[in-house]
Chain A
Amino acid sequence: MMLSAPSFSYALLSPMLIVLAAAVLGVLIEAFMGKTHRAAVQLTVSIGALLLALIQIWQIRDMSSTSAAVNSVTIDKAGIFLQFTIIVLALVAVLLIADQDNFVARASTIPGSVEEQITTQQQVKQTEIFPLFLFATAGMMLFTVSTDLITLFVALEVFSLPLYLLAGLSRRRRLLSQEAALKYFLLGAYSSAFFLFGAAFIYGYSGSVSLVDISASAGSANDIFLYIGIIFMSVGLLFKISAVPFHSWTPDVYQGAPTPITGFMAACTKVAAFGAILRLFYVGFAESQTLWQPVITVIAVITMVFGSVVAIAQRDVKRMLAYSSIAHAGFLLSGVVALSKEGLAASLFYLFAYGFTTIAAFGIISLVRDSTGEVSDLNRWVGLGKKSPLVASVFSLLLLSFAGIPLTSGFIGKFAIFSAAYQSGNTLLVVVGVLASAIAAFFYVRVIIMMFFNDPDNDSVSVVIPSIKSRISITIATLITFVLGIFPSIILNTANNFANLIK
């Protein structure tokens, strides 16, 4: 029997390999390096690795291959754009994450215990977050380019497991944070099981794990297997993007996780999971579109309406943004349903723009505090505009972008994605989408009104002076939100040129 050596095209894989290597290096640093400089070194390693990966992405931007790692990874235009998006978002997020104040000093201490107090007093710094963060980032990058079911599943787990841990590391309200992490883990495991089960059915149907082969075998075998496979795999992915009814974890986890992690998760997980969804449906299940399009349409409609409406009743800013992120998942699903080049391009742009707005918004939330830590209760944000006009104005701009008001990136994203959906004949989705975004605008603007039009009551909520790292991060993300509203062509054109998935 002849065994040929597996072929790898290392150049194409290098962005992921760099980030993974840096993650491993981070673990070694944790093990062997003294405490004094660990945080600085870890941050340098993370930023350095991401920058290197960015350079590599730039080098390979015009290349493509279906056999980068045997047949399990496809590097194509859309994949490169998604990886690029994940890296730049991660770069902005890591600056927020580097703000140590948000993380518990030592995760193993029991909340409220003496040990906890001691480690806090000793100002022990939590540095394990960096390798975890890098593992998650690498997993997300792999997720967007995996082209067989097994790699897809491995990537899913690689990026999910670190996130479960990171979600539980909040310094304040630790019980809430740990509860959220545990829920996220259990439900995540549950949804992964669905995903795997679905993958098995698809394999049973097509006799192959490769998306291309699955597409080619459409109509050749027992359709029941295909139906069940599609549904179960979708559940795993819809869970990650928090589409209704697989969204229940979202508000709890967004609220409980340390705010910078929430920002990272909300932005990058969406990119990665939508990357995989787009690839799965545009490549693997493209031939069975009559089957899944109605299902995803229904999910999109429910998700948009549910997210927008329930957000109105929220009194906690992080929970409100959680429901808002649910609604945005619905808007993004319109791009999946469109199943066209325009839909793909619009989705790519939307993910890019939404990611930055989200990270900036959570960055701002991490600044509003009282003596016990972050204040996410909206009633206490009243009058913030009078206390710190700059922070409130920036947050307002971000909210307007979420709401899709013109001259922000959110408007361009919505316009692109809805017109793509309309062009491919999904009128219902567009009408519901526009209605839902009108409803959603209500709660975004209500926060603005609260901040600017009501007088502050004299409690001790204040805005902390952000560290230089947070400041850079929030500034960059806000600027991108604003600039993409006025000059969207920069990214819109790129997204259009990169809207190509190799089938």
Chain B
Amino acid sequence: MQISENLVWFIALPLISSAILLLVGKKANSWGHIAATTVSASTFIIGVIEFFAMQARPEENRAVVQKLFTWISVGSFNVDASLLLDQLSICFVLLITGVGTLIHIYSISYMSHDLDRRRFFAYLNLFIASMLLLVLGDSYLNLYVGWEGVGLASYLLIGFWNQKPAYATAAKKAFVANRVGDVGLSLAIMIAFATFGDVTFSGIKEQTDAASTTQLTAIGLMLLLAACGKSAQFPLQSWLGDAMAGPTPVSALIHAATMVTAGVYLITRSSFIFDEAPIAQLMVLIIGAVTLLFGAIIGTAKDDVKKALAASTMSQIGYMILATGLGPVGYAFAIMHLLTHGFFKASMFLGAGSVMHGMKDEVNMRKYGGIGKFMPITAITFGLGYLAIIGVPPFAGFYSKDKIIETAFNAGGIKGIALGIATLLGAAITAFYMTRVVILTFFGNERWGHKDEPHESPALMLIPIALLSIGSVASGYLLSKGKSLVYWLEPVVNPLKEHHAEELFSHTTVSLMTISVVIIGVSIAVRKYRGDQSDTAPEKVSKLTIAARKDLFQDALNEATFMRPGQSLIQKLLNIDHLVIDGAVRSVGVVSISAGSKLRSLQNGYVRSYALMMVIGVLSLIAVIWVVTA
């Protein structure tokens, strides 16, 4: 494999810039945002140079590596801090740095009134560095460092406006969901290490034959859990909606275009494991299908424009995850949808931010209406993104989503039909809820209830949106033309290795079906939302709508199944710690949480009861040994 000396700059530049902005402090207020944006743009330029250099090389020499230093070296176990830039990671590098730079530019204007703008840009650069490390790491351990890094940057950015309590709660929720995912990743790494004695992608890839299916399935399922946490997939999806509390550029960058797609990257990167572990792969399909429908249904009922878009992100990532579950034929389409989605979703988020900017930070679409004529550029770019996401030809989403639906139908047997119907249904609902968002925001009666007219955003915000819109128009065609992306990724994921003998539906049939369901979805939405709308949400609605408004009760479910038992476990253990041992003076059961806190503030444990606790411990140990030997 070729050696490169340039990869380190991808991470070093934004990391150093972030550190400087944080350390220099207020003195950097005047130039911090410019520096951060320049750095982000430089990483993009390096990315483009690397891309053309890679393209110029023959296929077998395209991947380059750079060893930074030996991280862990014990006996035969070696982990280098090494970077790997291959056909898969370059796609992500260009997306992260390209979209990232546009969002930096947008934020200069969007955050201009914030006193702490410099800190915001420092966090953005920190995020870019971590995300690049995530996709450039050549082993699971290196990936894990970036994985935790983007998590950290994400909390910092969600909680950036931490003066509002809701934001702190959102950051906490995101933290918990991500921790669950992290447990999955760390277990996967440990199992992989114990099985293969290696944690590098290339090392494990060569040895998959040596492992048993059970081991591979275990690794696969743990990786899937990790992907669910990071990519907001069922059942860990509930944090994404709340994360919208952060500044809008953050939602566009982290919660639409890049970080939330890390799960898709992880599964694609681990194709050599999933291809050999059918059960894990089936679970990937199920999770993807469930989430794409879940997200779409939730999207139909949200009045908060950002939350509607977040639900849509969840659903679109569901498509990608589902595609990765389809095996070698699916990976390239997952990545294609990921890239096109990166463009159109970022552009729509930034568009939503532009609307909020002109509407005094109002996010409730019921208070919008008729904004199109006041903010024409925002409306047009948002419209392009809309056409892309619902999959109207020749916009980007048509090419990528269509391919996923087609591959799903052709997966064979009942599985194929079920998946095909799910994806098709998802497409119809997507068309419905996105039409709803567009009508409620840009058309219809003006419902904002104050005299100040919305105003179009400054050029610094509109230019990035416009550039992203070009992506939402053209990227799908460019990526699928002559199967360019499929051939590009072939060495990494081997998509052409196997071909299904017979196809259930031809390409044209699937396209026609998709277009028809999209038309159905759009027309239902138009019928329902044309004409004047009320500025409050209707109360008499179907049960499904109520459920969708409440995120299909996922929060309630989490609360009932994890949070409350968790809290009661804490309480019980606390009681054991304070109560059983103080049983002589307090009867069990009278101590509530408040008494618990009183107990905490004082040391009132009696030595005799501590000693009693030890005796109980000894007796239980004897019991254990007795059981073991008996």
Specify the chain A residue showing the minimal Cβ separation from B569: A309
**In the bound complex, do residue B600 and residue A313 qualify as a contact, i.e. CB atoms below 8 Å apart?**
yes
**In the bound complex, do residue B614 and residue A246 qualify as a contact, i.e. CB atoms below 8 Å apart?**
yes
Specify the chain A residue showing the minimal Cβ separation from B182: A438
**In the bound complex, do residue B603 and residue A227 qualify as a contact, i.e. CB atoms below 8 Å apart?**
no
B58-91 interface (Cβ within 8 A of A): 69-75
Which one of A182-190, A355-363, A367-375 is at the B interface?
A182-190
For A312, list chain B residues within 8 Å (CB).
570
Residues on A close to B: CB < 8 A?
Answer: 176, 179-180, 182-183, 186-187, 190-191, 194, 223, 227-228, 230-232, 234-235, 239, 244-246, 248-249, 251-252, 255-256, 290-292, 294-295, 298-299, 306, 309-310, 312-316, 319, 345, 405-407, 412, 415-416, 418-419, 422-423, 430-431, 434-435, 438, 441-442, 445, 449, 453-455, 486-489, 492-493, 496
For B569, list chain A residues within 8 Å (CB).
309
Given the known A-B contacts A183-B607, A434-B186, are A310 and B191 also in contact in the complex, defined by CB atoms under 8 Å?
Answer: no
Q: How far, in whole Å, are A99 and B137 apart by their CA atoms in the complex?
A: 45
- Flag whether B375 is at the interface (Cβ < 8 A): no
- Flag whether B162 is at the interface (Cβ < 8 A): yes
Q: How far, in whole Å, are A256 and B602 apart by their CA atoms in the complex?
A: 11
B590-605 interface (Cβ within 8 A of A): 596-597, 600-601, 603, 605
**In the bound complex, do residue A442 and residue B176 qualify as a contact, i.e. CB atoms below 8 Å apart?**
yes
Identify 8 residue pairs between A and B in the complex whose beta-carbon atoms are under 8 Å apart, listed by A's number. Answer: A180-B603, A223-B629, A231-B625, A246-B617, A295-B624, A309-B570, A449-B168, A493-B74
- Flag whether B51 is at the interface (Cβ < 8 A): no
Specify the chain B residue showing the minimal Cβ separation from A175: B603
For B577, list chain A residues within 8 Å (CB).
248, 306, 310
Give the number of residue pairs across the A-B interface with Cβ within 8 Å: 160
**In the bound complex, do residue A453 and residue B187 qualify as a contact, i.e. CB atoms below 8 Å apart?**
no
Q: How far, in whole Å, are A415 and B72 apart by their CA atoms in the complex?
A: 11
For B190, list chain A residues within 8 Å (CB).
415, 418-419, 422, 430, 434
Specify the chain A residue showing the minimal Cβ separation from B622: A231
Given the known A-B contacts A246-B614, A314-B600, A489-B72, are A295 and B621 also in contact in the complex, defined by CB atoms under 8 Å?
Answer: yes
Main secondary structure of the interface of B (DSSP, over half): helix
**In the bound complex, do residue B617 and residue A235 qualify as a contact, i.e. CB atoms below 8 Å apart?**
yes
**In the bound complex, do residue A190 and residue B603 qualify as a contact, i.e. CB atoms below 8 Å apart?**
no
For A292, list chain B residues within 8 Å (CB).
625
Specify the chain B residue showing the minimal Cβ separation from A486: B71
Q: How far, in whole Å, are A186 and B611 apart by their CA atoms in the complex?
A: 9
**In the bound complex, do residue A291 and residue B628 qualify as a contact, i.e. CB atoms below 8 Å apart?**
yes
- Flag whether B391 is at the interface (Cβ < 8 A): no
Specify the chain B residue showing the minimal Cβ separation from A190: B611
How far in angstroms is the closest Cβ of chain B from A302? Answer: 10
How far in angstroms is the closest Cβ of chain A from B319? Answer: 29
How far in angstroms is the closest Cβ of chain B from A493? Answer: 6
**In the bound complex, do residue B625 and residue A227 qualify as a contact, i.e. CB atoms below 8 Å apart?**
yes
For A431, list chain B residues within 8 Å (CB).
187
**In the bound complex, do residue A235 and residue B621 qualify as a contact, i.e. CB atoms below 8 Å apart?**
yes
Q: How far, in whole Å, are A486 and B141 apart by their CA atoms in the complex?
A: 12
**In the bound complex, do residue B183 and residue A319 qualify as a contact, i.e. CB atoms below 8 Å apart?**
no
For A316, list chain B residues within 8 Å (CB).
600-601
**In the bound complex, do residue A406 and residue B148 qualify as a contact, i.e. CB atoms below 8 Å apart?**
yes
**In the bound complex, do residue A291 and residue B625 qualify as a contact, i.e. CB atoms below 8 Å apart?**
yes
Q: How far, in whole Å, are A405 and B573 apart by their CA atoms in the complex?
A: 26
Given A406-B148, A493-B73, 10 extra CB contacts under 8 A: A179-B603, A183-B610, A186-B611, A187-B610, A187-B614, A294-B628, A295-B628, A313-B600, A449-B172, A492-B73
Q: How far, in whole Å, are A230 and B573 apart by their CA atoms in the complex?
A: 27
Q: How far, in whole Å, are A153 and B347 apart by their CA atoms in the complex?
A: 71
**In the bound complex, do residue B573 and residue A248 qualify as a contact, i.e. CB atoms below 8 Å apart?**
no
Q: How far, in whole Å, are A416 and B190 apart by their CA atoms in the complex?
A: 9
Given the known A-B contacts A190-B614, A442-B175, are A295 and B625 also in contact in the complex, defined by CB atoms under 8 Å?
Answer: yes
How far in angstroms is the closest Cβ of chain B from A326? Answer: 10
Main secondary structure of the interface of A (DSSP, over half): helix
B577-599 interface (Cβ within 8 A of A): 577, 581, 596-597
**In the bound complex, do residue A453 and residue B624 qualify as a contact, i.e. CB atoms below 8 Å apart?**
no
**In the bound complex, do residue B614 and residue A489 qualify as a contact, i.e. CB atoms below 8 Å apart?**
no
Specify the chain A residue showing the minimal Cβ separation from B602: A176
Specify the chain B residue showing the minimal Cβ separation from A495: B74
**In the bound complex, do residue A423 and residue B194 qualify as a contact, i.e. CB atoms below 8 Å apart?**
yes
Q: How far, in whole Å, are A415 and B574 apart by their CA atoms in the complex?
A: 29
- Flag whether B455 is at the interface (Cβ < 8 A): no
- Flag whether B228 is at the interface (Cβ < 8 A): no
Specify the chain B residue showing the minimal Cβ separation from A184: B607
The residue that A249 contacts in the complex, of B70, B71, B73, B610, with Cβ under 8 A, is B610
Q: How far, in whole Å, are A492 and B596 apart by their CA atoms in the complex?
A: 42
Q: How far, in whole Å, are A310 and B600 apart by their CA atoms in the complex?
A: 11
How far in angstroms is the closest Cβ of chain B from A24? Answer: 32
- Flag whether B54 is at the interface (Cβ < 8 A): no
Q: How far, in whole Å, are A246 and B614 apart by their CA atoms in the complex?
A: 5
**In the bound complex, do residue B187 and residue A434 qualify as a contact, i.e. CB atoms below 8 Å apart?**
yes
**In the bound complex, do residue A187 and residue B607 qualify as a contact, i.e. CB atoms below 8 Å apart?**
yes
The residue that A306 contacts in the complex, of B183, B193, B573, with Cβ under 8 A, is B573
- Flag whether B529 is at the interface (Cβ < 8 A): no
For A227, list chain B residues within 8 Å (CB).
622, 625, 629
For A255, list chain B residues within 8 Å (CB).
603
Residue among B74, B75, B176, B190 with the highest chain A CB neighbour number at 10 A: B74
**In the bound complex, do residue A405 and residue B187 qualify as a contact, i.e. CB atoms below 8 Å apart?**
no
B103-129 interface (Cβ within 8 A of A): none
**In the bound complex, do residue A438 and residue B179 qualify as a contact, i.e. CB atoms below 8 Å apart?**
yes
- Flag whether B613 is at the interface (Cβ < 8 A): yes
How far in angstroms is the closest Cβ of chain A from B349? Answer: 24
Question: Which 4 A-B residue pairs are closest in the complex by CB-CB distance?
Answer: A245-B617, A248-B610, A453-B162, A406-B145
**In the bound complex, do residue A186 and residue B607 qualify as a contact, i.e. CB atoms below 8 Å apart?**
yes
B484-522 interface (Cβ within 8 A of A): none
- Flag whether B28 is at the interface (Cβ < 8 A): no
For B172, list chain A residues within 8 Å (CB).
449
For B148, list chain A residues within 8 Å (CB).
405-406
Specify the chain A residue showing the minimal Cβ separation from B627: A294
Given the known A-B contacts A187-B611, A438-B182, A489-B73, are A231 and B621 also in contact in the complex, defined by CB atoms under 8 Å?
Answer: yes
Q: How far, in whole Å, are A373 and B231 apart by their CA atoms in the complex?
A: 47
Specify the chain B residue showing the minimal Cβ separation from A440: B179
For A180, list chain B residues within 8 Å (CB).
603
For B628, list chain A residues within 8 Å (CB).
290-291, 294-295
Residue among B141, B175, B603, B622 with the highest chain A CB neighbour number at 10 A: B603
Q: How far, in whole Å, are A487 and B71 apart by their CA atoms in the complex?
A: 6
Q: How far, in whole Å, are A496 and B73 apart by their CA atoms in the complex?
A: 10
How far in angstroms is the closest Cβ of chain B from A288? Answer: 10
The residue that B183 contacts in the complex, of A223, A298, A438, A454, with Cβ under 8 A, is A438
**In the bound complex, do residue B69 and residue A487 qualify as a contact, i.e. CB atoms below 8 Å apart?**
yes
For B600, list chain A residues within 8 Å (CB).
313-316, 319
How far in angstroms is the closest Cβ of chain B from A415? Answer: 7
How far in angstroms is the closest Cβ of chain B from A306? Answer: 6
Q: How far, in whole Å, are A239 and B603 apart by their CA atoms in the complex?
A: 19
Q: How far, in whole Å, are A251 and B190 apart by their CA atoms in the complex?
A: 32
The residue that B613 contacts in the complex, of A245, A256, A319, A488, with Cβ under 8 A, is A245
The residue that B574 contacts in the complex, of A194, A313, A412, A488, with Cβ under 8 A, is A313
The residue that B74 contacts in the complex, of A290, A298, A489, with Cβ under 8 A, is A489
How far in angstroms is the closest Cβ of chain B from A451? Answer: 12
**In the bound complex, do residue B75 and residue A235 qualify as a contact, i.e. CB atoms below 8 Å apart?**
no
**In the bound complex, do residue B574 and residue A310 qualify as a contact, i.e. CB atoms below 8 Å apart?**
yes
For A486, list chain B residues within 8 Å (CB).
71
Given the known A-B contacts A295-B624, A406-B145, A442-B179, are A310 and B570 also in contact in the complex, defined by CB atoms under 8 Å?
Answer: yes
